[in-house]
C-alpha cells in the first residue's frame, strides 16, 4: 500500500474534518499515485514515527503547471487559500526553493475510506428492504 504523508501536524485536523481533500505536490507524481489506488494517509517526518490518520482512495491525479491551478484545486489542498500566489509561497516553504509559475505540480484528490458509515449502511439496508 502506498503512503500519502504530510509533514505538518497542522494538516491533521484539516484531514480529520474532511477540509483537506487534495494535495498539491511539486513535480510530476503521476507515476506514484493513480486513480482508484488505496493509500494510507499519515503525518510525520522521514525516519520518525508517523501517525495514521486514515485510509483513502485516490479520486483524481492531474499534472499541470502552477499557473493553471484553479481556486478549487488550491482550496481542496488548503482551505485557507484560494490564490495561486498563496500556493506558490506555501510550496516554497515546504520545498525550500523558488517555485515558478511554469513549474509542474501534481494535484492528487482523495476521499477518506470510512468503515461502515451509518448513512451508507442505512441506505443499503433501505434498498434491500424495499426489494423484499
Averages of pLDDT over runs of 10 residues in the chain (132 residues) are 87 91 97 96 92 97 98 94 94 94 98 80 62 50
- pLDDT for 9: 76
Q: Which residues contact 121 (CB under 8 A, 6 or more apart)?
A: none
Separation of alpha carbons 10 and 79, rounded Å:
12
CATH code for position 74: 3.10.400.10
Looking at residue 118, the DSSP 8-state letter turns out to be: H
Burial (CB < 10 A; 0-12, 13-18, 19+), residue 104, is: middle
Q: Cα torsion at 120, 124, 127, 129 (round to 10°)?
A: -130
Looking at residue 96, the DSSP 8-state letter turns out to be: T
- pLDDT for 10: 78
- pLDDT for 8: 79
Q: State the total domains in the chain.
A: 1
Determine the structural domain holding residue 30 and report its residue range.
2-131
A 10 A CB-CB count for 122 gives 10
Q: Which residues contact 88 (CB under 8 A, 6 or more apart)?
A: 66, 99, 101
- pLDDT for 128: 54
- pLDDT for 129: 53
Amino acid at each position: 500500500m502506498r503512503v500519502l504523508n504530510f509533514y505538518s501536524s497542522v494538516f491533521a485536523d484539516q484531514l480529520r474534518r474532511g477540509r483537506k481533500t487534495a494535495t498539491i505536490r511539486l513535480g510530476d507524481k503521476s507515476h506514484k499515485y493513480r486513480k482508484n489506488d488505496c493509500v494510507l494517509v499519515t503525518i510525520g517526518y522521514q525516519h520518525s514515527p508517523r501517525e495514521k490518520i486514515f485510509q483513502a482512495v485516490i479520486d483524481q491525479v492531474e499534472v499541470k503547471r502552477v499557473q493553471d491551478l484553479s481556486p478549487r484545486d488550491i482550496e481542496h489542498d488548503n482551505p485557507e487559500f484560494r490564490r495561486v500566489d498563496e500556493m506558490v509561497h506555501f510550496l516554497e516553504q515546504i520545498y525550500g526553493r523558488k517555485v515558478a509559475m511554469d513549474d509542474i505540480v501534481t494535484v492528487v484528490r482523495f476521499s477518506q475510506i470510512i468503515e461502515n458509515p451509518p448513512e451508507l449502511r442505512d441506505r443499503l439496508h433501505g434498498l434491500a428492504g424495499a426489494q423484499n
